Each structure stands twice: as C-alpha cells, then as structure tokens.
Chains A and B, each alone.
Chain A
C-alpha cells in the first residue's frame, strides 16, 4: 500500500498569509495526486487533482505542484473561508489519504 504523509499537522496563519502544505508519498504516484478541503461537519471538497488542475469553481489562489513522491498545496493569500483541514490523496494505486493538515487562525 502507498502511504501518504503530510506536514505540518497544524498550521497557524493569518488572513493574507501565503500558506504551503507538503505531502509525501511512500512511492512514485505519477502525479496522480489530489487535494481536498474539509470543514467541520461537512464532506470533503475536491480542490485540486492531477497535482495541479483546479476543480471547477475553486479560487485561483489555490495551486498545486510537485512530482513523483513530493507535492505541495499553496494558498497564495489566505482568506477567511480557507480555514479548514486539507487532505492529500494519491490515486495511482487505489486511493490513500494523508493524515490531514489543519489550517487555523494565528
């Protein structure tokens, strides 16, 4: 099984900050990497897939990059609606999620 490791587990930031979350895979996932946003009591929401493709309706302040085993999610200017937990997911071999990164108010 492919294991996914995110860092940090918690990130404290302010509105307007540039935020970066890292996700590492235990083996090459060939850019089949997605990011989801989840708010309390809600289902996850797809934000980015295929490493860097924004899902329809997702603001352009979100971006994804990386290759092979190391990937990043960047929020260029954090907005109030962005405080949430973010999960990476590999789908090169079935599906595995990272443990999540909680973005909280500093």
Chain B
C-alpha cells in the first residue's frame, strides 16, 4: 500500500532553516511527483510546490520563491523540502502528498504531517 512517512517535529529559531523529509513506499517513485502543503495553526491549506519524482524538476508557489528548495533522492525514495529564513509565520504542519508526474491530478495519498515551530 502507498505510504508517505515524514520526519519528526522541528523547533527552529527565527532566521534558521528547516529540512523536512518524506519517504515513499508502495509505488514506483519515478512515476509520480510529490507536492508539499502546509497548514498554519487554525488555518487552511497552502500549496507550497511540486517536485517530479522522475527528474527532480520543480515548481514553487510564487510567494515562497527564493526561500524554498525541494529535492529528491531516488535511491532512498525520499523527497525533501527545505525552507530558509524562517519567521513565526512559517509555524505550521507541513505535509507531503503524492501528486502527478505531469498533467492534472489530485493528492490521493498524504504523509502524516511534520510540525515545525518557529520561536525565539
């Protein structure tokens, strides 16, 4: 069965960086992409960006351009999301979700979420 398992809770200081991982199993990693979605406490869902599981091509949400980097390691079937220059507004649960390699599709499978707290 498809599973996405994320890394654990993080606590960071303002200005620091965080890197969250998402390990995939149960499907052919190269045949799909991974999207990252975050949710601030009590708020809605925000799509952050997408990375191809085939060649690492990325597409980031405009408001995060320059601060976010998504990468993959196909040997370990793991996707990574790094967010830099953290502020308190980045405090959120970060989810990875399996998305399409190309074309139009939704997120059928999600990770369990990683809580990132930014606090001085």
Chain A residues whose CB sits within 8 angstroms of the CB of B47 once the complex forms: 94-97
For A, the interface residue count at a CB cutoff of 8 angstroms equals 22
Chain B residues whose CB sits within 8 angstroms of the CB of A32 once the complex forms: 104
With contacts defined as CB atoms under 8 Å apart, how many contacts are there between chain A and chain B in the complex? 51
* Residue in B closest to A48 when the chains form the complex, CB atoms: B106
A49 touches B106 (CB 8 A): yes
A89 touches B113 (CB 8 A): no
For B, the interface residue count at a CB cutoff of 8 angstroms equals 21
CB-CB under 8 A for A91 and B106, given A97-B44, A99-B44, A100-B44: yes
Nearest CB in chain B: distance from A6 CB, A = 9
Nearest CB in chain A: distance from B90 CB, A = 18
- Partner-A contacts on B (CB < 8 A): 35, 37, 44-47, 50, 59, 61-62, 95, 99, 104-108, 110-113
- Partner-B contacts on A (CB < 8 A): 1, 32, 34, 36, 38, 43-46, 49, 55, 87, 89, 91-92, 94-100
Pick from B95, B104, B110: contact of A91, CB under 8 Å:
B104
